[in-house]
């Protein structure tokens, strides 16, 4: 199969098609998706980024972004949705990167649910973006097929467009501790009293929300406490270990 073709969108027909795609991805009614065609039209008219990815003229992904702070240096990617497993999401982000660089922007920010492993891997490993801030219940409770009524904790993530790509893996330093680990599908908190802390995330939080809401809620609170607490203290996420653990490093050594 050929690589997806990505292009900017400008017509109401295009935006209506994106709305239907998003409704299918998020499992909502067609008129109740995460963003309306009218808002996309307004953003595109104002010079912001609205693009779609196509396979054989069929829309398979779309992304919406707008200029953010600091003015003149940053683009905020509000929403990206794509069919999984065919490189559509990566094609969209690379197109978005080129669009931003053509406008002399230095970074792209977005939010994502830090409990979703595939998104963590895509953002941190494939792109080299890094979480900067933990946002508690950013959108409130979201009752769609992906979020399942869970509180919408998000991490604000930044992609430095001037940085070299990160290595696929790296050696953990001696003395790294596990601040949160997965034990039979449940979170178990440990110590965060070290310069490098590993924080596990569950195998499939979306399935867990359907089959064991109590366990899903426990993961939300445990990650909020550990990852959120460390980021609030000034620690930084520096990578993802074995596709399942955030690697968090303190910026100042422990005394």
CA of residue 167 relative to chain centroid, distance: 19
* Residue 170, in any domain of the structure: no
* Residue 171, in any domain of the structure: no
pLDDT at 96: 98
pLDDT at 165: 81
pLDDT at 143: 61
* Residue 204, in any domain of the structure: yes
Which residue, 100, 101, 19, is CA-closest to 52?
19
Judge if 35 and 143 occupy the same domain. Answer: yes
Handedness of CA 239, 240, 242, 247 (dihedral sign): positive
Domain endpoint, select from 106, 133, 160: 160
Task: Check if the beta carbon of residue 92 is closer than 8 Å to that of residue 86.
Answer: no
- Per run of 10 residues, the mean pLDDT along the chain (length 255 residues) is 91 96 89 90 98 96 96 96 91 98 98 96 95 94 60 95 82 92 96 96 94 95 97 96 95 72
CB-count burial class (<10 Å; 0-12, 13-18, 19+) for 113: buried
* Residue 222, in any domain of the structure: yes
Which residue, 104, 154, 105, is CA-closest to 131?
154
Long-range contacts: 78-86, Cβ < 8 Å, 24+? 78/35, 78/110, 79/22, 79/34, 79/35, 80/110, 81/21, 81/22, 81/25, 81/26, 81/34, 82/25, 82/53, 84/118, 86/1, 86/4, 86/55, 86/60
pLDDT at 1: 64
* Residue 169, in any domain of the structure: no
β partners of residue 229: none
Could you tell me the residue range of the domain that residue 155 belongs to?
5-160
* Residue 237, in any domain of the structure: yes
Judge if 142 and 17 occupy the same domain. Answer: yes
Domain endpoint, select from 90, 125, 160: 160
> CA torsion 172→177→179→181, rounded to 10°?
70
Give, rounded to a whole angstrom, the gap between the first and last alpha carbons of the chain: 55
Judge if 135 and 62 occupy the same domain. Answer: yes
Judge if 54 and 142 occupy the same domain. Answer: yes
Which residue, 214, 185, 177, is CA-closest to 201?
185
* Residue 45, in any domain of the structure: yes
Judge if 148 and 244 occupy the same domain. Answer: no
> CA 165 → CA 126, 130, 142, distances in Å?
8, 12, 33
Judge if 126 and 242 occupy the same domain. Answer: no
Judge if 113 and 18 occupy the same domain. Answer: yes
Judge if 40 and 15 occupy the same domain. Answer: yes
Judge if 108 and 27 occupy the same domain. Answer: yes
CB atoms within 10 A of CB 195: 16
- Separation of alpha carbons 89 and 181, rounded Å: 29
* Residue 31, in any domain of the structure: yes
Judge if 109 and 153 occupy the same domain. Answer: yes
Judge if 75 and 134 occupy the same domain. Answer: yes
> CA 10 → CA 58, 79, 86, distances in Å?
16, 17, 25
Alpha helices in 62-177 (DSSP H): 88-102, 117-121
Structural domains in the chain (count): 2
Judge if 54 and 140 occupy the same domain. Answer: yes
pLDDT at 106: 97
């Amino acid at each position: 199969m050929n690589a997806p073709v990505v292009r900017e969108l400008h017509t109401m027909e295009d935006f209506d098609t994106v709305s239907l795609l998003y409704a299918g991805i998020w499992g909502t009614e067609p008129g109740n998706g995460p963003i309306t065609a009218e808002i996309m039209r307004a953003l595109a008219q104002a010079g912001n980024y609205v693009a779609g990815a196509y396979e054989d003229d069929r829309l398979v992904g779309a992304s919406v972004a707008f200029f953010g702070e600091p003015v003149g240096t940053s683009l905020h990617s509000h929403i990206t949705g794509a069919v999984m497993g065919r490189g559509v999401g990566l094609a969209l982000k690379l197109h978005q990167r080129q669009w931003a660089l053509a406008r002399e922007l230095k970074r792209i920010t977005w939010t994502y649910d830090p409990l979703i492993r595939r998104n963590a891997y895509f953002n941190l490993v494939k792109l080299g973006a890094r979480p900067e801030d933990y946002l508690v219940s950013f959108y409130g409770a979201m009752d769609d097929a992906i979020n399942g009524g869970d509180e919408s904790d998000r991490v604000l993530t930044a992609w430095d467009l001037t940085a070299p790509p990160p290595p696929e893996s790296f050696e953990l330093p001696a003395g790294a501790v596990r601040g949160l680990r997965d034990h039979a599908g449940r979170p178990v908190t440990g110590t965060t009293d070290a310069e490098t802390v590993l924080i596990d995330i569950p195998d499939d939080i979306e399935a867990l929300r359907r089959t064991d809401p109590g366990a899903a809620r426990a993961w939300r609170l445990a990650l909020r406490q550990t990852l959120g607490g460390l980021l609030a203290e000034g620690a930084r996420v520096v990578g993802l270990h074995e596709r399942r653990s955030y690697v968090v490093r303190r910026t100042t050594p422990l005394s």
